[in-house]
Amino acid sequence: MKLTDNKVGNQTIKILLVIPFFYPHKGGSQKYAEEVNSKIMEMDSRFKVDVLCYNTKRAPKLESYRNFTVHRIPCWEIIKDKFLLPNPFSLLLKLISLSKNNYSFVETHVRFFDPTWWVWAYARLIGAKSVYVGHVPGHPVHQGWLVAMIGKFVDLTIARFALQRYDFIFYANNACKNFYEGVLGIRKEGIVAHIGINPEEFSSKERDEIRIVPNANITLSTNKVLITYAGRMLETKGIIYLWEAILRLKNQLEKNVRDQLVFCFAGPGNLNEKLRSLIKEAGLGANVLVLDELSYTDVRKLLAISNVFVNPSSYDEGLPNTLLEAGASRCFVITTDSGSINDLIVNGKTGSLIGKKNAGEISEAIKWYLNNQAQAQVMADNLSADIKNNYTWEKAARVFINNLS
């Protein structure tokens, strides 16, 4: 069965989004899927998106959320917060039920998850077109070498086989497109729809006032320099290298300069308690704060009062959304040169690019900022303007609308 004419034109275009992690779970690819599809429905009333996801947070089995109809099925968590497998009987019954909904497209994201392996076939069975969205320009990473090797093997076999069979392939960044075509050998021409933000949600006006750190009940005066990391608190995010940079600065800076610095780590993950212990041992409790997971509103508040944003990530993860949010908030950005980050950050023009796993380069970049704050603010303003002009959910959604209608 082929796509019929009553699915286009002025008629409803129905999309089934199949994605393991979805609201209320938080994550980069989940946020992209949610924001782009929500914006598609907002911009073009012909589109209606249903979601089939795995129930990672004991949420309702059926829920209406941001104009999505969300269907959740039971699952098994194989690697905590990283890899899931659905209950196969629940999945089969739900797919049979949803097949009656006359979908035009079935969409999935991130090749590391099982839907990538079968969504293309399910779409063919129900007479729909398959849509895949890639995010990560590299093989799976994990601390355990065996898990990493198995992930790479699956990447180069099952995932590559499946990806060749999708009707549409989109990429969230240029580095991802280059990896798929150059390393995975994907021949189908892909379309880049850059990750984005809603620029109007971000500002920096609060830096000129007394600043209150969310979730900490701490007030900062205007002479303090707030240096922030926001994201998942995982080893692969390079958190330990930022901590080592803080220790370097403690030894290298004069006391009056050290006392001006406040570091914030915000996000969920397995390193929070370990970092708290290290902070206590180093006697830096007044200067280094671990805020745990913040609401999206509080993340925006934190970025609005931050002077510097550091992304010390040690693996290729595309283009982190927090970089866009920090840039739109006019923070000076210090980031490792990984994934597609150099599409956004031009060293010396829109921020500072540093090497991976290098605490020394992080500390040197922070010292440069302290000595060149006026020049750094010009770079931050350049980045903010670029983001607001080129990296928005509206632009990404328009790419999908133009290609799927």
Q: Answer yes or no: is 331 within a domain.
A: yes
* 263 lies in some domain: yes
CA distance linking residue 157 with residue 375, whole number of Å: 48
Is the Cβ–Cβ distance between 70 and 51 less than 8 Å?
yes
Based on the domain organization, do 177 and 38 belong to the same domain? yes
H or E segment and range at residue 64:
strand 62-65
pLDDT, tens only, 75-101: 998 877 677 899 999 999 999 999 999
Given a cut of 90, is residue 141 above it in pLDDT? Answer: no
CB 312 within 8 A of CB 237: yes
Rounded distance between C-alpha atoms, residue 346 and residue 259, angstroms: 30
What pLDDT score does 156 carry?
86
Of 133, 165, 193, the last residue of a domain is 193
Domain span including residue 187: 5-193
> Which pLDDT tens digit goes with each residue over 297-333?
999 999 999 999 999 998 777 888 999 999 999 999 9
pTM of the model: 0.86
Residue 374 and residue 356 share a domain:
yes
Q: What is the pLDDT of residue 1?
A: 32
Over 50: is that where the pLDDT of 353 sits?
A: yes
Instruction: Based on the fold, state whether residues 78 and 209 are members of the same structural domain.
Output: no
Domain boundary among 193, 223, 254: 193
- Whether 318 and 350 map to the same domain: the answer is yes
| Number of domains present in the structure of the chain | 2
Here the CATH number for the domain that contains residue 333 is 3.40.50.2000
pLDDT digits over 234-254, tens only?
Answer: 888 999 999 999 999 999 999
Integer CA distances (angstroms), 229 to 86, 265, 302, 325, in order: 33, 5, 10, 12
**Same domain assignment for residues 113 and 55:** yes
Q: Grade residue 112 by pLDDT with cuts at 50, 70 and 90.
A: confident
Q: Answer whether residue 121 is part of any domain.
A: yes
pLDDT of residue 28: 78
Q: What is residue 153's predicted lDDT score, i.e. its pLDDT? A: 87
DSSP-derived 3-state class of residue 26: coil
Q: What are the two backbone dihedrals, phi and then psi, of residue 62, each rounded to the nearest 5 degrees?
A: -135, 130
Mean pLDDT of all residues belonging to the chain: 92
Confidence class of residue 17 from pLDDT cuts 50, 70 and 90?
very high
Same domain? 154 vs 236: no
Q: Where are the beta strands (DSSP E) in 156-286?
A: 168-171, 191-192, 211-213, 218-220, 225-230, 261-266
Question: Do residues 169 and 310 share a domain?
Answer: no
Are residues 19 and 140 both part of a single domain?
yes
Q: Which of 193, 222, 244 is the last residue of a domain?
A: 193
pLDDT at 5 over 50: no
Q: Are 225 and 188 in the same domain?
A: no
Residue 401 lies in a domain: no
User: Which CA distances in Å does 186 have to 121, 156, 193, 349?
Assistant: 18, 11, 17, 34
The answer, yes or no, to whether residue 3 has pLDDT greater than 50, is: no
Domain identity same for 169 and 272: no
Q: 281 and 151 in one domain?
A: no
Both 22 and 131 in a single domain?
A: yes
Domain assignment present for 149: yes
